[in-house]
Amino acid sequence: MERITVTHLIERIPTEAAAYLYLEGLRWPDKPVCPHCGSINDHYYLKPSNDVSRKTRTGNVSERRVWKCKDCRRQFSVLTGTIFHGSKVPVRTWVFVFFEMCANKNGLAAREIERRYGVHPKTAWFMAHRIREAMKVRGAPMTGVIVADETYIGPDPTKMNAERRAKRVAHHTDKQPVVSLISAKTGEARSQVVANVRGATLRKVIDENVNKLGSVLYTDAGSQYTALGRRFTSHGTVDHSAGQYVHNGASTNKAENYFSQLKRSLDGTHHHVSREHLDRYLAEFDFRYSTCKMDDTERMTRLMGQVPGRRLTYKGTTRP
């Protein structure tokens, strides 16, 4: 496949009609797949009378390419049933933002999308969250050597000004606990927002994401991991308080490296992330970390394969 760059996209997608064709090539490299019934039959392309555009029910002109399923007889487009479904943003803009979200190593702020593509701030924010929704992992449980660690995301009360600090309850913190699991073999990362880092909470996260049969767990010396480690083939620990970072082959350095990149990017790019939406930001950085060995073209192609069935509504992303 031709290497995807910003220059490449500008040359290949001069119009909205070209954007639909380009997106079809990414999603359906062989032939269109009906999103309604999953059929891969030779579907019908409903060609407009002028070969380019057609009028919609509201009288507007659209360059959307419409197909009709040969089996279920329903109409569909490359946007149907995906994160792009129902969006009024031009497909050309979507493709560019989609590529930037895959290519920017430190993430892409909604304000940057707003300035570069001339969309409303809320539109830019919602576009980014729809793409992050597609980045969420829905794979099989991880196996092999699993590195587990936790961190806290949020403001540091000790660095607040005197007025804000005076309003706070003693020992209270706004930091949000986050647990990350990283496969030492594949480099896949899975992070999750949790209420606390007690043993029962961590056990639930590990049970959902790891196949413990034949797997090895590497953690720090925290007591909450002691009982969890017995459920694995073996459990290696490092005692950071004693200056240990590698002990008998066990290490949590992969998780520490991930947290370092995550926090720098959140602080530098987004500055502030709410607890309500932190899970999607974690999904974004999990995806980028898990695909760090891929180039931008491979990463974009992989993410395009995850857009079906990931619809997200604006109401579903905002507070009631």
Exposed e or buried b per residue across 300-319, where buried means at least 16 C-beta atoms within 10 angstroms of its C-beta: bbebbebbbebbbeeeebee
| pLDDT recorded at residue 233 | 95
pTM score = 0.90
- Give the Cα separation of 140 and 303 in Å (integer): 17
Range 311-317, long-range pairs (CB < 8 A, 24+ positions): 311/81, 311/82, 311/83, 311/85, 311/86, 312/83, 312/129, 312/130, 312/133, 314/122, 314/126, 317/126, 317/129, 317/277
Dihedral over Cα of 189, 192, 198, 201: its sign: negative
pLDDT digits (tens, 9 = 90+) for 176-231: 999 999 999 999 999 999 999 999 999 999 999 999 999 999 999 999 999 999 99
pLDDT digits (tens, 9 = 90+) for 132-177: 999 998 889 999 999 999 999 987 767 777 776 666 655 455 789 9
pLDDT digits (tens, 9 = 90+) for 112-132: 999 999 999 999 999 999 999
Domains in the chain with CATH codes:
145-273 (3.30.420)
Residue with the bigger pLDDT between 98 and 309: it is 98
Percent of the residues in the chain that have a pLDDT greater than 70, as a whole number: 95
Say how many Å lie between the first and final Cα of the chain, rounded: 44
